Amino acid sequence: MKILVVGSGGREHAIVWKLAQSPKAEKIYCAPGNAGIAQLAECVPIAATDIEKLADFASQQSIDLTVVGMDDPLMLGIVDEFEKRGLRVFGPRADAAIIEGSKVFSKNLMKKYGIPTAGYWEFADAESAKNFLKRHKTYPIVLKADGLALGKGVLICQNEQEALAGVDEIMVDKKFGQAGAQMVIEEFLEGQEVSVLSFVDGKTIKTMVSAQDHKRAFDHDQGLNTGGMGTFSPSQYYTEQYQKEAEEKIFQKTVDAMAAEGRTFKGILFFGLMLTKDGVKVLEYNARFGDPEAQVVLPRLKGDLVEIVEACIDGRLDQVSIEWEDNAAVCVVLASGGYPVSYQKGFVIEGLDAFKDHQDLLVFHAGTAKNEKGQYITNGGRVLGVVALDTTLEKAIAKVYDHVDEITFDKVFYRHDIGRK
Ligand code: AMP
Ligand code: GLY
């Protein structure tokens, strides 16, 4: 098969790496990809959001299967366009990707179908949001821009003054652009946050092993929110009790709810769960693999990802058995100084060769390129994800930190406490 992967981050490197192990994968393309992905796939210089061009490319090259890694093209209707042209593609259509693309939609869906989530209020203008806040007495409280905002449209406010300023940021100053045309204000939840990803074929759902993300830039959860500074899998907090509860109240119910709404969901459905003392609640849905969750989950998947993806597309996921390694994985992200605010690009990366022949030590590239001398250079804020696998979480943590310093570049930084939630 000729396979096309859409995206350019560490997540897409992990997806390409896993697809490449399939005996069915003859040739893999990635648009636009990065320098690490180029070791396994032919990178094609088409932006992930340039849907027309991607569909033209897939037609011209007779691509047998396209896997969409990123959220934006899904929301823009890449799956609809590919299907219209008779191209085989894995991911939700735009009318189902809205489960990630609109917080107002996803909160209303959960309310309508009785899926546990934080209590909330929705607003279409700043004045009514502010009037609500002036009457509200419980803090902290959470403000969310309705639409996609690179994971940044969420403000946790400690008091009324902060919350009023937050409404201005979202709805008046439009700091997150059109994403702030509507907003949700919701109850603040306390607990451990766990990511559970799943394969969905429209009716059947099969969840993957759990993971946890470290979102803040620095050790001990200091600094700004980032796209994710590291992950580990499985989560020790996601006990059988919580899993059973989520299976009863959340997973299948969400898939059924989407089908009942006429928005059949096929693809990767990502549940951001909060394990609270009152039970498990949904914080958010994503319509794709997490980044950097994919980097710790996919290496634990036994068997053939191409087969699972095809079963999802064909609606026969119930006939496929999906198995996982009984081990643990940790991913430490190497970032460039200044991330997530502003950072330079183009620093030469040394030490990657040492990681070439390890089965249990992997490097997924997130933001890299090559210079004219053929050296790897930094090309983003999150540069690389170093992943270690071992029999236990403790051993995987020890292994990853034994090796991260072998990779160096100017202004590199990473967290030293990944896996230690
Ligand atoms: P979201 O994009 O909805 O996942 O929000 C981004 C992050 O904000 C989450 O990963 C949580 O860490 C935090 N967050 C979102 N909603 C809440 C909530 N209701 N209570 C506490 N923290 C939240
Ligand atoms: N790591 C969280 C996300 O991919 O949204």
Residue nearest to atom 18 of ligand 1 (CA): 188
Least distant ligand from the CA of 148? 1
Residue 16 scores a pLDDT above 90 = yes
- Percent of the chain past pLDDT 70, that is, above it, reads 100
The answer to whether 349 and 316 have CB atoms below 8 angstroms apart is no
* Residue 183 β-bridge partners: 123, 145
Region class of 158: left (phi > 0), else alpha (psi between -120 and 50), else beta: alpha
User: Which of 195, 273, 288, 298 to mutate to test ligand 2, by most ligand atoms within 8 A of the CB atom?
Assistant: 195
- Ligand 1 lined by 213 (C-beta under 6 Å): no
- Ligand 1 lined by 119 (C-beta under 6 Å): no
Residue 316 scores a pLDDT above 80 = yes
Residue nearest to atom 5 of ligand 2 (CA): 290
Find the mean pLDDT for residues 291-296: 98
Nearest to 361 by CA among 413, 328, 403: 403
- Ligand 2 lined by 213 (C-beta under 6 Å): yes
> Model confidence at 150, in pLDDT bands (50, 70, 90)?
confident
Residue 229 scores a pLDDT above 90 = yes
Residue 291 scores a pLDDT above 80 = yes
Least distant ligand from the CA of 331? 2
The answer to whether 269 and 205 have CB atoms below 8 angstroms apart is yes
CA of 99 to the centre of ligand 2 (A): 14
Residue 191 has a pLDDT of 96
* Residue 270 β-bridge partners: 197, 286
Q: What is the mean pLDDT of the chain?
A: 97
Find the mean pLDDT for residues 363-392: 98
Instruction: Note every long-range contact of 149-154, with CB atoms under 8 Å and residues 24 or more positions apart, other chains counting.
Output: 149/176, 149/177, 149/179, 149/180, 150/227, 151/225, 151/227, 152/176, 152/225, 153/179, 153/180, 154/225
Residue nearest to atom 3 of ligand 1 (CA): 284
Least distant ligand from the CA of 70? 2
What is the rounded CA–CA span in Å between residue 384 and residue 47?
A: 20
CA of 222 to the centre of ligand 1 (A): 16
Which residues are within 8 A (CB) of 336 and not within 5 positions of it... i.e. 6 or more apart?
343, 344, 345, 347, 367, 378, 380, 381, 382, 383, 409, 411, 412, 413
Residue 63 has a pLDDT of 98
- Ligand 2 lined by 10 (C-beta under 6 Å): no
pLDDT in tens, 207-222: 999 999 999 999 999 9
Looking at per-residue pLDDT, the higher value among 299 and 152 belongs to: 299
Which residues are within 8 A (CB) of 405 and not within 5 positions of it... i.e. 6 or more apart?
none
Which residues are within 8 A (CB) of 56 and not within 5 positions of it... i.e. 6 or more apart?
none
Residue 201 scores a pLDDT above 80 = yes
pLDDT in tens, 259-286: 999 999 999 999 999 999 999 999 999 9
User: Which of 283, 291, 421 to mutate to test ligand 1, by most ligand atoms within 8 A of the CB atom?
Assistant: 283
> Model confidence at 193, in pLDDT bands (50, 70, 90)?
very high
CA of 284 to the centre of ligand 1 (A): 7
The SS3 call for residue 420 is coil
- Percent of the chain past pLDDT 90, that is, above it, reads 96
**Beta strand pairing status for 89-90 and 65-68?**
parallel
Return the ligand 1 atom nearest residue 187 CA: 19
Which residues are within 8 A (CB) of 128 and not within 5 positions of it... i.e. 6 or more apart?
none
- Ligand 2 lined by 290 (C-beta under 6 Å): yes
Residue 200 has a pLDDT of 99
Which domains can be identified in the chain, with CATH numbers?
2-94 (3.40.50.20), 119-187 (3.30.1490.20), 192-319 (3.30.470.20), 328-413 (3.90.600.10)
Residue nearest to atom 8 of ligand 1 (CA): 154
> Model confidence at 293, in pLDDT bands (50, 70, 90)?
very high
Q: Which of 30-34, 149-153, 274-278, 290-294 has the least mean pLDDT? A: 149-153
> Model confidence at 149, in pLDDT bands (50, 70, 90)?
confident
**Helix locations, 200-334, DSSP H:** 240-246, 252-260, 294-297, 305-314
Find the mean pLDDT for residues 301-308: 97
